Amino acid sequence: MTSVFARKKIREMLAEDLGFGDVTSETLVQPKARARAEIIAKQAGVLAGVAEATIAFNEMGVKARAVKSDGTRAKAGDVIMRIEGLARKILAAERVALNLLMRMSGIATATRELIDRARRRNPKVAIAATRKTAPLLTYFDKRAVVVAGGKPHRYRLSDQILIKDNHLQLVGSVAEAVRHARRTARTAKIEVEVTKSEEVLDAAQAGADIVMLDNMKPTEIRRAIKMLEREGLRDKVVLEASGRIGPSNVESFAAAGVDMISSGYMTMRAPALDMSLEIKKAKS
């Protein structure tokens, strides 16, 4: 889906950054001056945003060729892209292209780390992003997660019913909320957030498809799974662990036996991957 939507958003980013024009380049660089440049990784990580950076340069009329593709690993010093075109245009697209590449690659790197750690203990567990993304950047943040092998979860509130704690405060019990959603839902999947092992059983019996185990310790999760197994319901629901999960504890949640782990670590706390654009030489 690096599509019309992504291109539209990148045009908006370029317009925001350019303002009324790049006054520095327009002062110093001749209008017809051409140049070649490279984007270089300054630290190791998993790449994402190469396709989006290419769009940013293409929108400014600049040729961009990917040396490394999305989803691959880069080492410090690796050339990621080679760029050629009018020097002013290269410089006009530089910041937007780098910001996308750096942010998305940071998210992809963090996602891959969580996946690798979790699957040491549970080879089948999925790692998913939450909706804790930067406003208006959800598409790019989630695409970086997918590029690294993770799951996007919901992009928007309209994608799926997810009954959370504040809904329960307004509606009532877990079972009541799930049953009501099942009767009236326009979407196929119904997910509900629970905080106690007993509520997991209530959710499954009421017909939830996915049960989010929010801020539950791995020991509590194991207890909930045993309860479901006793009732013959374990295979009827997808169990998702969530809440303060990152590299330091993801393995223990994976080992507890859940099907999916959702985390905001990748999109809210992971640092951007450092990169730079370097002009190699001017062309006459």
Non-local (6+) Cβ contacts of 21 within 8 A are none
As given in the structure block, the two tokens for residue 4 are 């019309």
CB 190 within 8 A of CB 182: yes
Residues 239, 166 within the same domain: yes
Q: Which domain holds residue 242?
A: 115-268
| Cα(271)–Cα(103) distance, integer angstroms | 8
Residues 203, 226 within the same domain: yes
How many structural domains is the chain composed of? 2
Q: Domain with 123 in it: what CATH number?
A: 3.20.20.70
Residues 230, 276 within the same domain: no
| Cα(250)–Cα(248) distance, integer angstroms | 6
| Pair type for strands 79-86 and 63-66 | antiparallel
| Cα(136)–Cα(221) distance, integer angstroms | 34
Residues 94, 208 within the same domain: no
Residues 234, 263 within the same domain: yes
What's the pLDDT tens digit per position in 72-125? Answer: 999 999 999 999 999 999 999 999 999 999 999 999 999 999 999 999 999 999
Q: Domain with 31 in it: what CATH number?
A: 3.90.1170.20
Question: Considering the entire predicted model, what is its pTM?
Answer: 0.95
Residues 28, 124 within the same domain: no
Residues 178, 102 within the same domain: no
Catalytic residue among 9, 68, 132, 217: 132
8 is catalytic: no
Residues 186, 230 within the same domain: yes
Cα Rg for the chain, rounded, in angstroms?
A: 23
| Cα(56)–Cα(10) distance, integer angstroms | 6
Residues 261, 131 within the same domain: yes
> Which residue has 């959603």 as its token pair?
181
Determine the average pLDDT of the residues in 239-264.
Answer: 98
What's the pLDDT tens digit per position in 202-214? Answer: 999 999 999 999 9
Query: Is the predicted pLDDT of residue 2 greater than 80, yes or no?
Result: no
Residues 107, 121 within the same domain: no
Residues 141, 48 within the same domain: no
Confidence at residue 16, expressed as pLDDT on a 0 to 100 scale: 97
Q: Under DSSP, is residue 260 helix (H, G, I), strand (E, B) or coil?
A: strand
H or E segment and range at residue 127: strand 126-129
Q: What type of residue sits at position 182?
A: R
What's the pLDDT tens digit per position in 148-199? Answer: 999 999 999 999 999 999 999 999 899 999 999 999 887 779 999 999 999 9
Residues 95, 136 within the same domain: no
